[in-house]
């Protein structure tokens, strides 16, 4: 396993670096995401921010989703690449390889971070970024990463995010605070095929700003997901977002079996009269008791 941080960007996709493609074959991230869905090792699979659109001089909650077949501890959250003197633009989280660009944010799967206050010297260096509607906004791109120490190994994941400096506008409600439901039976038999469903019902204000939903990501302790670990999400006429899957439980399985579904949402936020697209994540975990 590469000891560096492995990218969760652009859609906070789960880490899948332990799969090796066959000689002469090309293995895309989408294929890895669709086939590497079992919780057979400690994995950092998602990272989200509350509020999902970052601005300077505020308190942000950072939450990670770590899945493991065994207990894990020593979870550390760090950032890299954000400078307070000049704007930064990153296209990958490789800045974790440069110690002077890395800082500690906190420990645990849920931490708070006070974003910096950028002074006038920063503004003099800010070239601005052009939004969808042509408005010049000052921002920086940087990386946030999580390291989790499990009983068997160390898992790492990182994602790029953007912070807007000195902007005012409508702040979106985090998607994970809306009505997200994972439908799964409470009990099942070994060898049974069960239906799984994910339903997201955003409130009216949030619905008006949603632009798309990326594929839903699924993880299970064991078994076969008949629609793989990556399923499409579609909008209904009344504004709900739905996705479905089916799980074949192994014939010899007995005990609790976890099912995890992660829904990425893309939406628009208004900043100083213009609009910027951002991404938020929502997830749910259900436990099924499997016994003969």
Query: Tens digit of pLDDT for each residue in 1-41?
Result: 333 344 443 333 333 323 333 444 445 667 777 899 999 99
pLDDT bin (cut points 50, 70, 90) of residue 44 is: very high
pLDDT digits (tens, 9 = 90+) for 202-257: 776 666 677 777 899 999 999 999 999 999 998 888 878 899 999 999 999 999 99
- Cβ-Cβ contacts under 8 Å for 182 (sequence gap 6 or more): 196, 197, 198, 259, 261, 284, 285, 286
Residue 20 pLDDT: 36
d(CA 44, CA 64): 7
pLDDT bin (cut points 50, 70, 90) of residue 199 is: very high
Average pLDDT on 175-197 reads 89
Query: At 268, phi and psi to the nearest 5?
Result: -110, 145
pTM for this entry: 0.83
Is cis: bond before 10, omega within 30 of 0? yes
Residue 9 pLDDT: 37
d(CA 58, CA 148): 26
Residue 272 pLDDT: 63
d(CA 219, CA 285): 9
Tokens of 151: 């009983």
Between 254 and 152, the higher pLDDT residue: 254
pLDDT(265) > 80: yes
pLDDT(148) > 60: yes
Tokens of 126: 């800010």
Residue 32 pLDDT: 75
Separation of CA 106 from chain center: 18
Sign, Cα dihedral of 50, 54, 58, 59: positive
Average pLDDT on 268-276 reads 71
Separation of CA 92 from chain center: 15
pLDDT bin (cut points 50, 70, 90) of residue 55 is: confident
Average pLDDT on 174-199 reads 88
Tokens of 130: 């052009």
């Amino acid at each position: 396993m590469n000891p560096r941080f492995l990218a969760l960007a652009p859609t906070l996709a789960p880490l899948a670096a332990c799969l090796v493609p066959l000689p002469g074959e090309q293995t895309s991230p989408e294929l890895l995401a669709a086939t590497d869905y079992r919780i057979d090792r400690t994995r950092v699979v998602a990272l989200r921010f509350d509020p999902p659109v970052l601005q300077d001089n505020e308190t942000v909650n950072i939450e990670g989703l770590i899945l493991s077949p065994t207990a894990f501890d020593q979870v550390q959250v760090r950032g890299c690449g954000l400078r307070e003197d000049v704007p930064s633009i990153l296209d990958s989280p490789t800045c974790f390889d440069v110690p002077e660009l890395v800082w500690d944010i906190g420990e645990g799967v849920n931490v708070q971070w006070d974003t910096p206050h950028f002074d006038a010297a920063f503004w003099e260096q800010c070239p601005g970024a052009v939004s969808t509607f042509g408005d010049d906004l000052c921002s920086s791109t940087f990386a946030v990463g999580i390291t989790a120490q499990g009983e068997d190994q160390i898992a790492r994941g990182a994602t790029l995010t953007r912070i807007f400096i000195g902007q005012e506008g409508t702040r979106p409600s985090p998607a994970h605070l809306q009505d997200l439901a994972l439908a799964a039976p409470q009990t099942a038999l070994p060898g049974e095929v069960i239906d799984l469903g994910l339903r997201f019902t955003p409130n009216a204000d949030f619905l008006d700003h949603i632009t798309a939903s990326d594929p839903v990501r699924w993880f299970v302790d064991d078994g076969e997901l008949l629609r793989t670990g990556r399923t499409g999400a579609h909008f209904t006429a009344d504004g709900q977002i739905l996705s479905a899957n089916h799980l074949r439980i192994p014939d010899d399985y007995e005990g609790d079996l976890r099912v995890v579904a992660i829904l990425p949402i893309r939406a628009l936020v208004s900043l100083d009269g213009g609009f910027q697209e951002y991404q938020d994540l929502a997830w749910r975990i259900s436990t099924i008791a499997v016994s003969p």
